Amino acid sequence: MAVLGSAAAAADDLPRAVFARFCGGCHFAGAEEGGVAIDRMLAATDAARPVDPGSAEHAGWVNLWKNLRAETMPPADEPQPSAAERRRMLEFVARDVMGVDARRPDPGHVVLRRLNRVEYANAVRDLTGIQENLRDDLPADDTGYGFDTIGEVLSVSPLLLEKYVDLAARVGDRVAAAAVVTADGYPPHLRRLFAFGPRPADPAARPDHLRRTVRRLAERAFRRPADDETVARLVAVSEGAIAAPGGSFEAGIAAAVTAVLASPRFLFRVEDDAAAPPGGGSVPIDEFALATRLSFFLWSTMPDDDLFAAAAAGTLRKDLGSHVERMLRDRRSDAFVENFVGQWLQTRDVTALPFNLRTVLGVRDHVAGEKIFSTEVRRAMRAETEMLFAHVLRTGLPATELLLGRSTFLNEPLARFYGIAEVFGDEMRPVTLPDHVPRGGLLTHGSVLVVTSNPTRTSPVKRGLFILDNLLGTPAPPAPPGVPPLDEAAAKLPQATAMRDIMERHRRDALCASCHARMDPLGLTLEGYDAIGQWRPEAAAGAIETAGRLITGEPFADVRELAAVIAGPRRRDFHRCLVEKLLTYALGRGVEYFDEPAVDMILEQAGPDGRLDRLVQGVVMSVPFQMRRSSAATGPVQHAPPPTAAEDRP
């Protein structure tokens, strides 16, 4: 095919005319708004050879493609392409420029993944039956793309390896101390470890009994069948502990526990191909690796016996849907809710964020403020958001119910904090909100409002960024260097200046205007809630202006209308954003341009209502979840971003 800039190319073969018509005023013929010259990009691209994924040109095309898909370009006040024209532009960029082919899906590449500290602690508990808070004995994990499941940032230092060895020895000692045989056998919590019972009285039966016990331990720990050589080495470790002075069968198994817990095959998630084709390419992961991906995704721990048995029988992939349904009904999926929601919506941070309560609440001292914004209220805020997510997930409701629902989960301390009557007791329970109550949906949850505030005031920038990043999937670019923070701009204005006026003055800088046009209307509509999530008296009196407009043109009068816009006209964006977050969490890598066909397939299979459980099912059924690049395949390398903190951006 000819170079795209060639005048001989027919209009049917390239979308130059469409780009020129809708983008020409800003990005053609010397106009390079935002540093983007689409006419030059077209001229430099050869449709017969996709753009190099590692090049600056490729990054430019990906950025263009994302803006076209999100309908943030062309701007809302400019002529818009029809749905068919926009689809043609998107197909051209994806297929002809970036080389994305839905018929030959690329599952991407995930580096060898260490268990994060939550997964490690849960796996040790489920393997051994020992209940001990190992998570707090390990350092906090780094995050990438907002999650601590990202393979490339889960590094291992020599100090961390020493810690793992120490913890393995400690757990082994606990096993040896707790494994006391009574008339009823071993204690119930240890019976999974001693699955074949105490040591036989017949000496001739002991070697086989030991070998079977050790093999089962190794297979559960390594999450796949153990080879004979590995089992033999572990049996030798056990026999040495049994033969030592004061040794016993229980001490031998405890020694094997110590050995497997310190093994790289326990600490890392090792995946094998089901079948590697000649010359490389995409390959299904084997069923044991699939069981491991599934269990750590939905339970944050190792596979249970049912998953392991299905993988051993080769039926897991065939019956995957029923396994997902079973796992979501199981209370162990609370770990998925806690760990996914805790990072997607940042509810993990609610209990620890510092606030100057004297300033925020106008009280005489911090102690008085803590009586209002107490630890109990903070914990209830986190529980409210996570319980709503779990309810929508387990009852088959549309994901948009997270935004629109008039039901939530409260206890008496949180209801009192919100100003809602007739809720009694400390237990969280479902509550239907009266129409006059200014609550309903994630955007009004105290957890969301708290994690998007500063210690002394609200932050429309943080709140706007939160909505763009986590609900619409259209994050704003980083702030340009050299622009003073918002607090510096606010310090030069009279103390009573409204936040909307402060923001208006701040974005007069041309460098800031385009990003703030995306963020500010979203954050300012939440100004009715103070920094700790209480409804302001001024808002109740109608003295706070909350109307705004999305960058895509949809107007809203208040937070309820904003939620309705996200769940209505922008529903596809919300569903796509949620699927991408789920994929990132599940796969341990960021979602890339070549994942677009998989995301589209998940959305299509979930249907227009986008039930949350079907979105989760779709992630499990997707090519990226069930396959990987074979060792012989080549392709783009994933790079996780460094950890970032949410700050006010100018």
Q: Minimum mean pLDDT among 97-111, 251-265, 420-434: which range? A: 97-111
Residues 274-299 have a mean pLDDT of 84
Residue 113 has pLDDT above 90, yes or no: yes
Q: Which two three-digit tokens encode residue 29?
A: 């013929």
Distance (Å, whole) CA 166 – CA 172? 10
Q: Over the chain, what is the mean pLDDT?
A: 90
Amino acid 103: pLDDT: 86
Amino acid 650: pLDDT: 33
Angle at 508 between CA 504 and CA 514, to 5 degrees: 95
Which of 112, 115, 133, 113 lies closest to 261 in space, CA to CA? 115
Three-state helix/strand/coil letters over 400-424:
CHHHHCCEEEECHHHHHHHCCCCCC
Residues 394-419 have a mean pLDDT of 97
Amino acid 433: pLDDT: 96
Amino acid 275: pLDDT: 61
Residues 171-193 have a mean pLDDT of 95
Q: Give the 3-state secondary structure of residue 353.
A: coil
Using one digit for the tens of pLDDT, what is the confidence trace for 440-489?
A: 999 999 999 999 999 999 999 999 999 999 999 998 776 666 666 656 55
Amino acid 643: pLDDT: 40
Amino acid 12: pLDDT: 42
Selected residue with higher pLDDT from 9 and 452: 452
Q: Minimum mean pLDDT among 47-51, 389-393, 549-553: which range? A: 47-51
In percent, the amount of the chain with pLDDT more than 70 equals: 87
Using one digit for the tens of pLDDT, what is the confidence trace for 361-404?
A: 999 999 999 999 999 999 999 999 999 999 999 999 999 999 99
Selected residue with higher pLDDT from 273 and 423: 423
Amino acid 70: pLDDT: 92
Selected residue with higher pLDDT from 559 and 512: 559
Residue 50 has pLDDT above 90, yes or no: no
Give the pairing of strands 627-629 and 282-284: antiparallel
Which band of pLDDT confidence, cut at 50, 70 and 90, is reported for residue 54? confident
Q: Give the 3-state secondary structure of residue 492.
A: coil
Amino acid 494: pLDDT: 65
Distance (Å, whole) CA 443 – CA 447? 9
Residues 299-307 have a mean pLDDT of 98
Residues 36-44 have a mean pLDDT of 88
Amino acid 141: pLDDT: 96
Distance (Å, whole) CA 618 – CA 479? 35
Q: Minimum mean pLDDT among 77-91, 494-508, 558-572: which range? A: 494-508
Amino acid 647: pLDDT: 38
Amino acid 484: pLDDT: 60
pTM: predicted TM-score of the whole model, two decimal places: 0.91
Selected residue with higher pLDDT from 644 and 211: 211
Using one digit for the tens of pLDDT, what is the confidence trace for 172-181?
A: 999 999 999 9
Inter-helix orientation angle 612-621/320-329, to 10° = 140
Using one digit for the tens of pLDDT, what is the confidence trace for 324-351?
A: 999 999 999 999 999 999 999 999 999 9
Residue 410 has pLDDT above 50, yes or no: yes
In percent, the amount of the chain with pLDDT more than 90 equals: 76
Residues 356-361 have a mean pLDDT of 96
Give the pairing of strands 429-432 and 548-549: unpaired
Amino acid 231: pLDDT: 98
Q: Which two three-digit tokens encode residue 330?
A: 């199981």
182, burial (CB in 10 Å: exposed 0-12, middle 13-18, buried 19+): exposed
Distance (Å, whole) CA 229 – CA 289? 21
Q: Minimum mean pLDDT among 83-97, 135-149, 478-492: which range? A: 478-492
Residue 302 has pLDDT above 70, yes or no: yes
Which band of pLDDT confidence, cut at 50, 70 and 90, is reported for residue 1? very low
Residue 619 has pLDDT above 80, yes or no: yes
Which band of pLDDT confidence, cut at 50, 70 and 90, is reported for residue 272? confident
Long-range contacts of 509-516 (CB under 8 A, 24+ apart): 509/483, 509/650, 511/480, 511/483, 511/650, 512/479, 512/480, 512/483, 512/650, 514/34, 515/476, 515/477, 515/479, 515/649, 516/461
Which band of pLDDT confidence, cut at 50, 70 and 90, is reported for residue 3? very low
